[in-house]
Amino acid sequence: MRRINFVRKDEKAVSPVIGVILMVAITVIQAAVIANFVFGLAGELKKAPTAGLTVTDATDKLGDADGESVLYIDHVGGDDVKLSEVTILVKDAVTGTLIDKWVAPSTLSDTAGSNGNLKATIDGTDAIFSTGERITIKENGTYSLSAGTCLRVQIVHDPTSQLILNTELTVR
């Protein structure tokens, strides 16, 4: 009886080729991990705080606004927000016109915005906007938050340029 040999001669090279490919892949992964540690790429990544913020409007009948419209930005949960790292913008939602903004305020204590149209106050005394605190934005005599005005309120985290808050509301 005759013996048939089914083994081909070129199959011997399969194992060394796969071994070389695996070694190259392992070397590339090791180089990436070492570069990450050496250059400190992982430590420099910043992320915006994740905070639950809501915006409402009301007519301040009890405070010192004498019936003027008021915007409230409430921190309802999540990360604390450093006021020194944010820009607060109030815009006309229809035209996109900037009504007022506060750029990296260290505190908000009846602070007029850059356009002087509105002024803002925060409940807390420190430069951190924390859960349970409220930012109150009121008219400053030069601008009227009249009923029916559609506003866009944005809070931008300056180091990452990410929006923490981006919402529209219509003043009642």
Instruction: Report helix, strand or coil for 20.
Output: helix
Cα separation of the two ends of the chain: 100
> Could you tell me the pLDDT band of residue 127, with boundaries at 50, 70 and 90?
confident
> Taking 60 as the threshold, does the pLDDT of residue 70 lie above it?
yes
Going from the C-alpha of 169 to that of each of 65, 85, 94, 139, the distances in angstroms are 20, 24, 11, 16
> Could you tell me the pLDDT band of residue 76, with boundaries at 50, 70 and 90?
very high
pLDDT given at position 6: 59
Higher pLDDT, 5 or 154: 154
pLDDT given at position 155: 94
Q: What is the pTM of this model?
A: 0.71
> Taking 80 as the threshold, does the pLDDT of residue 24 lie above it?
yes
Closest by Cα among 67, 107, 69 to 88: 107
pLDDT given at position 11: 56
For the chain, the structural domain boundaries read 51-170
Average pLDDT over residues 115-144: 85
Fold of the domain spanning 51-170 = Immunoglobulin-like (2.60.40)
| Angle of CA points 129, 162, 145, to nearest 5° | 60
Average pLDDT over residues 100-113: 85
* C-alpha atoms less than 13 angstroms from C-alpha of 89 in its C-beta half-sphere: 19
Averaged pLDDT score across all residues of the chain: 83
pLDDT given at position 29: 95
Determine what percent of the chain is predicted with pLDDT higher than 90.
41
